Structure 1
Amino acid sequence: MQMTFALRRKEIITSPSPVKEILGRWPALRLESQVCAEFQCITNQNLTNTFYAELDCHTAKTGKTADALAEFLRVHDLKDQHDVHTSRTTVLCALPVYLREDASKFFKTCTIEDDSEEPDVDSSVALLTVVRELPDIALQHNPEKISIILENEAVITGLQRLSDAFLLMFGLIYALDLSYPKEMANTFEFIQKVPLGLDDGKLKPRVLALKSDLLIHAQ
């Protein structure tokens, strides 16, 4: 895959094809290790290390900046056991709430009974979480599995943690030269420009406000 990187980038950028066709030609892009390797070739940055290091740095701060996040924090605090994975899930679900975005089309949930090998999801970009029972709030720390949906099809399935699924989704968007989902544009811009420090140009007002808030709490 490393030897064919230049050929693959030229093909993806100059001759856009459906995601299904691209992954059919380059099936290794369904693997976590290859998605991260592709991201590093594109950005010269280690996606996994940078993403998790920055996410964990802000875990204790992000949720304290708006009353709208109170319910997420309540669900988080009710858990009997907390670890880095539950904290990461809470932060990722809280980000679009803070940035005043409707994440319902991106963070999708279904029950085991509704799930199948080929989930029917009417969404161009989404994370589909499979649970035993539908929750009252879209925050699941222990799902049965999570699938990455691109162009209405599951391209990677069987993931166990939301943070891993989100990281791979971000990497695939870069690898396949896709646009961010419109309803989550601020959230993805924040991940790109603040934790990952990519293209750190002018920030949208809501993203800039969150960055400023985090800097205040870091002092």
Structure 2
Amino acid sequence: MMLLRVIVSPQEIRRVTLQELSAEFSRIVTKDLLDSFLDGLDALVPGVLQMYGEAAASGRRVRLSSVLSCLHKEDTNQNKKAAVLLGLPCYLAEDSSDIIRMCDAHGETLDVLMSGMQVGLLIGHEGPLHDAFPLDVFNVALVVEEKIILHDLRDVSTGIAMLLGAIYCLNLEYPRNMKYYFEFLQRVVMNIKPDQCSARIHGLRNKMLRYRM
């Protein structure tokens, strides 16, 4: 398939499947997108959460306290991974509001929620959101050029993996407001050309290694 044709123009954007996106990523990178992402993430979760806890306690990243408090309510593996992925922009002092948006099933319309999204993720939940992130996600959708191209993803981790895969397969630049976030996913989580990471991500990776020792 030619996934690059998905984004030729807004009129020609079409839906893709998880299998199509994964296959195109594998063709380009020779890695399994979802398995590599989840395996890499699983290995990092304990150290990253410890790092978040230290940053929140020091007062350097107060918003991380609300992310970590979600785990006191439901300390599942899925929620731990969601906390890592959704807390990372805060830790890196980046703005995720144009890329990752929460979607109340009974709230604003999809057109409103997708407004201005060049590439991003909608995380669907039921009712008002009282926590830093929804503990019960019913749908995650991938958005390109204000259109949903992939939906019914089962959790935040799968959604972020597909978002990274879409950016990679479409040969898009990382969104400016989250460039270190996606570099971390590529270089550290996926271990794709880790020797080419920026000084900031190199420093973060070394810091994380200390937590894992």
Give the TM-score range, shorter chain: 0.7 to 0.9
Secondary structure of 1:149 counterpart: strand
Secondary structure of 2:50 counterpart: coil
Contact 1:119 1:154 in 2 (8 A): no
When normalised by structure 2's length, the TM-score is 0.84
- Residues 119-130 of structure 1 aligned to structure 2 (within 5 Å): 120-122=113-115, 123-130=117-124
* Number of equivalences: 202
Contact 1:102 1:184 in 2 (8 A): yes
1:54 is aligned, of 29, 40, 62, to 40
2:72 is the alignment partner of 1:86? no
Residue in 2 that maps onto 1:114: 107
What is the deviation of 1:19?
A: 6.2
Could you list the runs of 4 or more consecutive aligned residues of structure 1 that deviate by over 6 angstroms after TM superposition? none
- CA separation of 1:90 and 1:76: change in aligned 2, threshold 3 A: same
Gapped regions of structure 2 (runs ≥ 5): none
Secondary structure of 1:70 counterpart: helix
What is the deviation of 1:118?
A: 5.7
% identity of equivalent residues: 23
Gapped regions of structure 1 (runs ≥ 5): 2-7
Give a deviation string over 1:13-57, Cα, whole Å, max 9, x none: 9xx723662x54xx5xx1111211111100111112211111011
- CA separation of 1:179 and 1:134: change in aligned 2, threshold 3 A: farther
2:84 is the alignment partner of 1:98? no
- Residues 1-219 of structure 1 aligned to structure 2 (within 5 Å): 1=1, 8=2, 12=4, 17-18=8-9, 21=12, 23-24=13-14, 30-65=16-51, 66-67=55-56, 68=61, 69-79=64-74, 82-114=75-107, 120-122=113-115, 123-219=117-213
Amino acid at match of 1:154: I
Query: 1-side partners of 2:154 and 2:35: how far apart?
Result: 19
Query: 2-side partners of 1:105 and 1:170: how far apart?
Result: 15
Contact 1:99 1:206 in 2 (8 A): no
Amino acid at match of 2:144: L
